[in-house]
Each structure stands twice: as structure tokens, then as C-alpha cells.
């Protein structure tokens, strides 16, 4: 293990102990006696799935974010629609995919330790493994989340939108106990994956009364995006990689923001506040600083919990 990786793991354990001391039910050794091999099983499933489909890590990381921001990290995003429309069918979540990876991990875990491990914990492990398999940092995932029984598509309006300005972003994160540093660090998850045109259309067509294109968007990128995402006759799944190294977890995202080449308004917005702009600059110049901050913020975010049970099937409440 490199010294920077060791430092990240040490600092994540330190933050974890702070979470535990605040009376949260999560702990590092929750499955030590009941299902000690759980994390190895999830890692194996995520690694195998990624070998077959390079988009899996980005999908699982995004799934975990979207889960935690609605009702806490309670796997409500995994529930299928039944009498009511569930979160996964809400407008911001229709492009979520790779649910089968969580199903596969759950099936393998149930064969070893039936009724013990929550789907919420499996998703938290899978998000961490997705970052690691893509070249990013590792961290100690606090364990012992419970799965929720409620999932409503209408609540997905609470997710931070790619069109948000800095005040809207700050409010969204602070409502969940997350700081400006958490906001900038967790936004770095945009180093992975692909975006459909709908998430950045506002920047390249009819931006405002004065400009058709967002003047803060680099003209070369704007022209490229307009070509991919015309107003009419657009290809069904048209869009753009989040950054040129979209399957590698690195700090390219922050470098792009400083070059006015980020995709979302919410990415560009990080330059509109002195503190967040300073953090963007720090993370752009130091991958180690970003990795450490990201690991710590993931521990913090993944510790927001609100579930009640351990599901037998991740898609259906007991």
C-alpha cells in the first residue's frame, strides 16, 4: 500500500470513529462474526461486472449518491414500483442502471449469510469498490445500515440538479449535514460516467435572453456539444462522457472546471464561491488531496441512514 493510500485509510478510520462516537448505530466490525466475507463477495461481483461493462462503476457510484440523498442511505432507490411509482422511476433516476450487480451480490451473500446483510450496505460497499476498481481511493465503509420500506418517485425532486447554482447546491448539501468541502469533493464523482444531453442542454441552447450559449462554457466544447445535441433530430441516447478519462477515477474533472470545460452548470457553479473555487484549485493540483477528501466525504454521506429492516430481495420490501 502506498503512503497516500495508508493516509487515506487512516483518516477515513478517524472520521468513522467520530461518526460512531456521535451515537450512530454504524460500526466497522458490524459483520465480523455474522458475515465476515461480505466485503470480499461484493468486491468480486463488482470487479467481474466491470470487466464485462466499463460503465458499471459510474452507475453504482451514482446509484449510491441518489439513494443517500433521498431518505438517507436505505436502498430505497433499489425498490421496484408497485402500488406507487418508486424512486428508480422518478425523472432524475430513469437513466440509472446496473441494478443487476446489486442483485448478484445480494444473491451470493444470502447463500453464505442469509438475512444478515442489508441491501443499503451492499450498495455502499459497491460504490466504494467502483471507485477502487476505477483507480480511485479506498476507505473503510461504516456498516449496519437498514433498508427502507418506502420509495416515492415524487421525492426525487429533492436530488441536486445539474442546473443548480452554488446557493442551491449549498442548501441541498447542508440539509443533509454536508459541508461545502463535501460538496466539492463529492462532485468529483463526475470524473466517471456519461451524461445525456438533457443534463447540459440549458448551457448550449437558449441559455438566457442575451446568450444562446452559456458564456462561461469554453467555445470549442460548446460547438462540440451543440453538434452532439442539436435542438431537433437528436439521436435517442445522445450525450457526452463526463470527462475524457470517463472510466478512470482521477482529478481531471477539476482541471476541466478551471478550463471552463465542465459539462454541468452545477460543475461550473463551483467557481462562483471563493471557498469552493479554492477547493477546486486544490483538487486540480493534487490528486492525493482530492482522494483523501473524497474518501472522507463518502464516509460522511454514506452514514446518513433511515431504514428499518434487512430485505430478503433488494427490489421488494419484506
Q: Which active-site residues does the annotation give?
A: 66
CA distances from 295 to 132, 195, 199, 237 (A): 11, 23, 26, 32
User: Is there a binding annotation on residue 74?
Assistant: yes
C-alpha cell at 221: 466544447
The answer to whether 273 touches 167, Cβ cutoff 8 Å, is no
User: Is there a binding annotation on residue 302?
Assistant: no
User: Is there a binding annotation on residue 243?
Assistant: yes
User: Is there a binding annotation on residue 267?
Assistant: no
| Gap between the Cα atoms of 177 and 173, Å rounded | 7
User: Is there a binding annotation on residue 72?
Assistant: yes
User: Is there a binding annotation on residue 252?
Assistant: no
Is residue 240 within a helix (H) or strand (E), and if so which, with residue range? Answer: strand 239-241
Closest CA to 131 of 50, 195, 70, 35: 50
| Gap between the Cα atoms of 111 and 39, Å rounded | 14
User: Is there a binding annotation on residue 87?
Assistant: yes
* Residue 240 backbone dihedrals phi, psi, to 5 degrees: -145, 145
Give me the residue label for grid cell 420509495: 151
User: Is there a binding annotation on residue 190?
Assistant: yes
| Gap between the Cα atoms of 264 and 256, Å rounded | 11
**Which residues are annotated binding-site positions for heme b?**
190
**Which residues are annotated binding-site positions for Ca(2+)?**
67, 72, 74, 76, 87, 191, 243, 250
**Which residues are annotated binding-site positions for substrate?**
160
Amino acid at each position: 500500500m502506498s503512503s497516500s493510500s495508508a493516509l487515506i485509510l487512516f483518516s477515513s478510520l478517524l472520521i468513522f470513529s467520530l461518526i460512531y462516537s456521535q451515537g450512530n448505530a454504524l460500526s466497522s466490525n458490524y459483520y465480523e462474526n455474522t458475515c465476515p466475507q461480505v466485503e470480499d463477495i461484493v468486491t468480486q461481483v463488482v470487479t467481474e461486472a466491470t470487466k464485462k461493462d466499463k460503465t458499471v462503476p459510474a452507475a453504482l457510484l451514482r446509484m449510491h449518491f441518489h439513494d443517500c440523498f433521498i431518505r438517507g442511505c436505505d436502498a430505497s432507490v433499489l425498490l421496484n414500483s408497485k402500488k406507487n411509482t418508486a424512486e428508480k422511476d422518478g425523472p432524475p433516476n430513469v437513466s440509472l442502471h446496473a441494478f443487476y450487480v446489486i442483485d448478484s451480490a445480494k444473491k451470493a451473500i444470502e447463500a453464505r449469510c442469509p438475512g444478515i446483510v442489508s441491501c443499503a450496505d451492499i450498495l455502499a460497499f459497491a460504490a466504494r469498490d467502483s471507485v477502487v476498481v476505477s483507480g480511485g481511493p479506498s476507505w473503510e465503509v461504516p456498516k449496519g445500515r437498514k433498508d427502507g420500506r418506502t420509495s416515492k418517485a415524487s421525492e426525487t425532486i429533492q436530488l441536486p440538479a445539474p442546473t443548480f447554482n452554488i446557493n442551491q447546491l449549498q442548501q441541498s448539501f447542508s440539509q443533509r449535514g454536508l459541508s461545502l468541502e463535501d460538496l466539492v469533493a463529492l462532485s468529483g464523482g463526475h470524473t466517471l460516467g456519461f451524461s445525456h444531453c438533457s443534463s447540459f442542454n440549458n448551457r448550449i441552447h437558449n441559455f438566457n435572453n442575451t446568450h444562446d450559449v452559456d458564456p462561461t462554457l469554453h467555445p470549442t466544447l460548446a460547438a462540440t456539444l451543440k453538434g452532439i445535441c442539436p435542438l431537433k433530430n437528436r439521436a435517442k441516447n445522445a450525450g457526452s462522457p463526463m470527462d475524457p478519462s470517463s472510466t478512470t477515477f482521477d482529478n481531471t474533472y477539476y482541471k476541466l472546471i478551471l478550463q471552463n470545460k465542465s459539462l454541468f452548470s452545477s460543475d461550473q457553479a463551483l467557481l462562483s464561491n471563493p471557498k469552493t473555487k479554492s477547493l477546486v484549485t486544490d483538487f486540480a493540483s493534487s490528486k492525493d488531496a482530492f482522494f483523501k477528501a473524497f474518501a472522507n466525504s463518502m464516509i460522511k454521506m454514506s452514514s446518513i441512514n433511515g431504514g428499518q429492516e434487512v430485505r430478503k430481495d433488494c427490489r421488494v420490501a419484506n
